[in-house]
A and B are shown apart, each in its own frame.
Chain A
Amino acid sequence: MKHAQTSARADFMLTYEFNAPKEMVFNAFATAEAMNEWWGPAESRNSTITLDFRPGGIFHFKMDFGSQVAYGRLKFEKIEPYDLLEFTNAFADEQANVVKAPFDVPLPQEIAYRLVFSEENGKTRILITGKPVNGTAEEVDGFHSIREDMQRGFSSQFDQLAGYLQKTGGRS
């Protein structure tokens, strides 16, 4: 059925099992030393520029493809050792500002990931889900103004209702 396919595919989901306790797996995201060892595309030499492992903190890294250099950044949102990690991921410039992907693949500009860590018998499973980061400020404003219109609408409705009740109340 087209329906199931479409809704299942709008979000990204993957599980992966590691032969290590979850504290160790979680901590592999927490330091520049660890991230330098494993993070980034296999085709590039990757190095940490800065890593601030706190909610709101940024991991800014360099990807050296030889002929081309690109930068990326994670912005940490939620950090709950050793169970949950939320961050957004995007390509970046040298100053860690978000930029479009430097190659021709239609990708969301920024993706929000949620990683849930669970441990059983010394093995850790990560369930990762991802979705494009929510709309632009302009769009959010659009919906905000609708809400305001509705509130105004409702309150004028209530004024009318109050007036009506007063009138009928007065009559009865």
Chain B
Amino acid sequence: MESRRDVFQAIADPTRRQIIAMLSRQPLNVNTISEQFDVSRQAVSLHVKILAECGLIVIKRQGRERFCEAQLEKLNEVADWVDHCRQFWTQQFKSLDKYLAKVRSQKPKK
């Protein structure tokens, strides 16, 4: 499978979701982010790299430090996905509800 770099890959991982949540409040440097997690610094760095490649954050160098900043407009794509899901399932469940009513009317209650 080809490697995908989009918002959905970005949010597929719980650590990355947490990182995004942290960065949506304020830009942070990579060390500060790492301190919040039990996983290794290397693992956090890789998550940060993936988030940057997916366009959800930008990394800005300030002297020796690397600051991560969330790209909130990119996060709207995530909201769009959830909205789409909600529409899809609401419609599916309405249709299922109708089907169940039909089955119930055919099969009188025991």
B-contacting residues of A (Cβ < 8 Å)?
1-3, 5-7, 9-12, 14, 16, 18-20, 24-25, 28, 34, 37-39, 41-42, 105-109, 111, 126, 128, 130-139, 142-143, 146, 149-150
Bound complex: CA of A136 vs CA of B7, how far in Å?
13
Please determine whether A137 and B1 come into contact, CB atoms closer than 8 angstroms: yes
What 8 A-B pairs are tightest by C-beta distance, nearest first? A108-B8, A38-B99, A16-B93, A12-B85, A132-B8, A20-B100, A7-B21, A38-B95
* Interface size of B in residues (CB-CB distance below 8 Å): 50
Q: Closest approach, in angstroms, between the C-beta of A37 and any C-beta of chain B? A: 5
Point out the residues of chain B lying under 8 angstroms from A139, CB to CB: 3, 9, 50
Bound complex: CA of A142 vs CA of B93, how far in Å?
39
A-B CB pair tally, cutoff 8 Å: 130
Please determine whether A34 and B99 come into contact, CB atoms closer than 8 angstroms: yes
Please determine whether B25 and A126 come into contact, CB atoms closer than 8 angstroms: no
A-contacting residues of B (Cβ < 8 Å)?
1-4, 6-9, 11-13, 17-18, 20-22, 24-25, 40, 42-43, 46, 50, 72, 75, 77-82, 84-86, 88-93, 95-104
